[in-house]
Amino acid sequence: MTAPVPIPPLFLDRMSRLLGGEFPAFAAALEGEPVGGLRVNTLKLSAADFGKISPFPLGDAIPWCPSAFIFPLSSFSPGLHPYHLAGLYYLQDPSAMSPAALLDPQPGDRVLDLAAAPGGKTTHLAALMQGGGLLVANEIKDKRVGHLAMNVERWGAGNVVVANETPERLADHFGPYFDRVLVDAPCSGEGMFRKDMGARLDWSPEMVAGCAVRQRNILRVAGKLVRPGGALLYSTCTFAPEENEGVIAEFLREFPEFDVEALPLFEGFERGRPEWLEEKSEKQKAKNKKQKAQESLAGAMRLFPHRVSGEGHFVCLLKRKGAPGADRAGDERMPEMDRARRGLWAAFAADALAADFAADRLKVRGERLYFIPEEMPDFGTLRVVHPGVWFGNFKKERFEPAHPLVLFLRRGQAQHPLNLEPGSPALAAYLRGETLPSGGPAGWTLVTVDGWPLGWGKRVQGVVKNHFPRGWM
Ligand code: SAM
């Protein structure tokens, strides 16, 4: 348990001025229990089917995200359950499920998640895209991109490229390439005050002002990545108007080719509050009043913890006018397997797998074999952490499968798997990294929990050696 930290009084004063009569309910909600959410991985199973096997009682379905349920945060440890390791669900604040749902990506789209770590919205976008098209999950910070890669891996989507780039370098390379871009911006985190004591500690008016500058810079670059006719969704988990309506107002002044698209309101959702910007200086007020675009900011959406089951959020959808033009980025140029490697892969696949993968999507990077998205541009010199699903490595005389291949496999896609029951001593031993006694053919064996792919083992003389990654134990 983290020790409670008082909510910053300057923040409360300001919210009291902005919210007026609503403030007492808001302030009481901020001191209440945070609400959790569990979003089912619909790439692997439906929400209804998860409901039948869920080891924990689930709350109500979340209206704006039909694949998710309200979930009591304190009573269980769902992050430690083997179903979590098998990628059957993601734990996420219900409000944070609104951006991907409202961006509404389609299976054939080219989608960019510009600020993606740790990957909550990436996994949601990937599920909505049903594995089709291209989803670039980008994170600027080296330290955070590993966590993103791990969550993408767990999710088992076949259309995700994990990149570690600046927005500027992406825009220089791609230009207006993407059908949909999500900017889930770094923010002052006021919406997380209920569950994150660190956010309360870090907050200051100067921090809010600094975040607004950074957000304006990020959004300005993000606009250049959206194709004419495409959509840009901006979201934050903060209440500060200068980080929300203020950022959008400035963006619209600079990019008149974008309009705010009014979002549908689910129960408890509130409209954007352009009038909150009037709190600014007289000079700024006069400037703002000239801006007609300001009115359209009411098409944005605000989530407040006293009105919805979830934390604080802001979401605004921007549509770019016009028709798509020619692409700047050409097709990918990753090499295919040579004859010898094709043989090694085919031998492994024949022994261990019961699945076919499109040959033209199997590409090589160094020693690694990747399964790339069906739509794959050239990334040039951009820093790509994973250009798709890492299937494994070519060693001298053999192919060695990697963990992401496990999570990409569906039930029934392996030969002679070793199935372990949840709660069994054998499963606990496997997750501790121990070997397991098991008869059957020698070689790579998929270890499953209740039939859900969980990790690799290698059977040698009646013993399955453990290949579950140490970092996941
Ligand atoms: N979308 C993520 C999710 O749902 O799990 C959360 C993203 S978090 C709110 C914002 C991210 O923006 C952080 O991972 C942070 O490292 C990244 N970021 C920080 N500065 C940035 C910048 N200048 N440009 C792009 N991203 C930045």
Domains of the chain: 9-320 (3.40.50.150), 339-371+380-472 (3.10.450.720)
pLDDT at position 288 = 52
Could you confirm whether 211 is annotated as catalytic? Answer: no
Asked if the peptide bond before residue 118 counts as cis, ω within 30 degrees of 0, the response is: yes
pLDDT at position 473 = 81
Q: Which of 139, 168, 211, 235 to probe ligand 1 with, by most ligand atoms within 8 A of CB?
A: 139
Q: Is the CB of 167 inside a 6 Å radius of any atom of ligand 1?
A: yes
Contact 236, 244 (CB under 8 A): yes
Rounded distance between C-alpha atoms, residue 393 and residue 337, angstroms: 12
* Residue of 65, 187, 211, 237 marked active site: 237
Contact 378, 329 (CB under 8 A): yes
Annotate 9-24 with b (16+ C-beta within 10 A) or e (fewer).
Answer: eebbebbeebbeeebe
| Amino acid at the residue 191 | G
pLDDT at position 278 = 82
pLDDT at position 173 = 97
Q: Is the CB of 147 inside a 6 Å radius of any atom of ligand 1?
A: no
Four-residue CA torsion sign, 22, 265, 255, 176 = positive
Rounded distance between C-alpha atoms, residue 294 and residue 255, angstroms: 13
> DSSP letter string over 10-49?
HHHHHHHHHHGGGHHHHHHHHTS---EEEEE-TTT--HHH
Q: Is the CB of 189 inside a 6 Å radius of any atom of ligand 1?
A: no
Residues of the chain with pLDDT under 70: 1-2, 74-75, 279-293
pLDDT at position 291 = 56
Token reading at 150: 């791990």
Rounded distance between C-alpha atoms, residue 215 and residue 213, angstroms: 5
In this structure, the dihedral spanned by the alpha carbons of residues 212, 213, 216 and 221, taken in order and rounded to 10 degrees, is: -140
Contact 164, 142 (CB under 8 A): yes
The pTM for the full model equals 0.96
Contact 269, 239 (CB under 8 A): no
Contact 244, 300 (CB under 8 A): yes
Q: Is the CB of 35 inside a 6 Å radius of any atom of ligand 1?
A: no
- Report the separation in Å between the CA atom of 165 and the middle of ligand 1, taken as the mean of its atom positions: 11
pLDDT at position 199 = 97
Rounded distance between C-alpha atoms, residue 386 and residue 291, angstroms: 43
Which residues, 6 or more positions from 13, have their beta carbon under 8 angstroms from its beta carbon?
none
pLDDT at position 391 = 98
HEC readout, 337-404: CCHHHHHHHHHHHHHHECCCCCHHHEEEECCEEEECCCCCECCCCCCEEECCEEEEEECCCCEEECHH
Q: How many residues does the chain have?
A: 473
For ligand 1, atom 20, the nearest C-alpha belongs to: 186
Q: Is the CB of 184 inside a 6 Å radius of any atom of ligand 1?
A: yes
pLDDT at position 402 = 98
Residue 433 main-chain phi, psi, to 5 deg: 95, 10
- Report in angstroms the alpha-carbon separations of 209 from 205, 243, 302, 313: 6, 8, 20, 18
Rounded distance between C-alpha atoms, residue 67 and residue 90, angstroms: 11
Q: Is the CB of 376 inside a 6 Å radius of any atom of ligand 1?
A: no
Q: Which of 97, 140, 166 to probe ligand 1 with, by most ligand atoms within 8 A of CB?
A: 140
- Report the separation in Å between the CA atom of 459 and the middle of ligand 1, taken as the mean of its atom positions: 42
